Amino acid sequence: MAQILGGIFTSHVPGIGGAIAKGVQQDPYWSPFFDGFKPVHNWLKTAKPDVAVVFYNDHGLNFFLDKMPTFAVGAADTYRNADEGWGLPVQNSFKGDTALSWHIIEGLVADEFDITTCQSMLVDHAVVVPCQLAWPGGVDWPVRIIPIAINTVQFPLPSPKRCLALGRAVGKALRSWQGDERIVVFGTGGLSHQLDGERAGFINQKYDRFCMDKLGPDVDALTTISALDVIEEAGSQGVEIVNWIAARGALGDTVHELSRNYHIPISNTAAATMLFATENEALEQAA
């Protein structure tokens, strides 16, 4: 039986990729953020996942404003990275897992999610930077990935409630998969940030802390407001928190928070990292 081990939640600021390229992770500006990944590295050593399901948003690389799916699920053999304009070094391609992708897709459609399926899909910094953080060193990726893109870019945006339902349906599909994959779930983006307009630079620590406090024990508390209200609270790009909400949904009812880090600012963003184990995995690690 496939096993969902836990979830890694992190900001995906492109500047993090730039810092990795320059090797300045231990500079005073960056170390408070990168140090937050030590518990993640330790956990991954034991958890040893072989598949990563990554909830993220594309930023104009694979989907542009002319074609914007609300929810898109990767079903490709390979996912190539490319630079959508940040000047970041292009990272190695990821292997996909088409059989598990189609199982998820079948589960989602059976559960009445009208998704877009992508048999070819480029992945941007929102997939690559979190994976570089989790598996530093620039070698081949130790996991196959299943990218699940949520539109956080072009109105109308899906509600936090709908994103949580999507994540829960993905979790249900994963738990019904007969393979013996060890699965880690990623939620990338956030926390509060706004890159443009009159409120450029906007950060809301109070809302970020509310999100981090509720994500584990009571994720439904993050879904009582609309996507537009999340933008009011967290900034126009802070709405990327819906990727975290969906990923949390996939982990099941009970999770154990293993670590959390919150650091302001990385670029224009309140950067955060959280790690959760699912109930099964917590028992396994304790045994």
Catalytic positions, written as ranges: 125, 193
Q: How far apart are CA 117 and CA 74, in angstroms?
A: 6
CB of 62 to ligand DHB, least distance (A): 14
Question: Whose structure tokens read 């936090």?
Answer: 160
CB of 97 to Fe ion, least distance (A): 25
Strand, coil or helix: 68: coil
Contact between 12 and ligand DHB by CB under 6 A: the answer reads: yes
Question: Whose structure tokens read 């990821």?
Answer: 94
State the binding string over 166-195 for Fe ion (x if CB under 5 A, else -). Answer: -----------------------x------
Contact of residue 268 among Fe ion, ligand DHB, none (CB under 5-8 Å per partner type):
ligand DHB
Total residues interacting with Fe ion, rule: CB under 5 A: 1
Phi, psi of 239 (to 5 degrees): -65, -10
Q: How far apart are CA 206 and CA 185, in angstroms?
A: 26
Identify which of residues 90 and 221 has a Cβ nearer to ligand DHB in the complex. Answer: 90
Q: How far apart are CA 136 and CA 41, in angstroms?
A: 9
Span of 6-14, 18-26, 139-147, 164-172 interacting with ligand DHB by CB under 6 A: 6-14
Contacts of 76 (CB under 8 A, 6+ apart): 96, 98, 101, 118, 119, 120, 121
Identify which of residues 14 and 249 has a Cβ nearer to Fe ion in the complex. Answer: 14
Contact of residue 25 among Fe ion, ligand DHB, none (CB under 5-8 Å per partner type):
none
Please say whether the beta carbons of 84 and 63 come within 8 A. no
CB of 1 to ligand DHB, least distance (A): 35
Binder of ligand DHB out of 13, 118, 123, 185 (CB under 6 A):
13
Radius of gyration, alpha carbons of the chain = 17
Binder of ligand DHB out of 18, 107, 158, 189 (CB under 6 A):
189
Q: How far apart are CA 160 and CA 283, in angstroms?
A: 30
Span of 17-25, 60-68, 115-123, 261-269 interacting with ligand DHB by CB under 6 A: 261-269
Identify which of residues 48 and 199 has a Cβ nearer to ligand DHB in the complex. Answer: 199
Please, which residues bridge with residue 219 across strands? Answer: none
Binder of ligand DHB out of 168, 193, 248, 263 (CB under 6 A):
193
Residues in 52-111 at the binding interface with ligand DHB, rule: CB under 6 A: 59
Strands (E), the chain: 3-10, 51-56, 71-74, 78-81, 94-96, 116-118, 122-123, 144-150, 182-188, 255-266, 269-278
Span of 10-18, 27-35, 102-110, 228-236 interacting with ligand DHB by CB under 6 A: 10-18
Residues near Fe ion (CB under 5 A): 189
Residues near ligand DHB (CB under 6 A): 12-15, 59, 189, 193, 195, 237, 240, 267-269
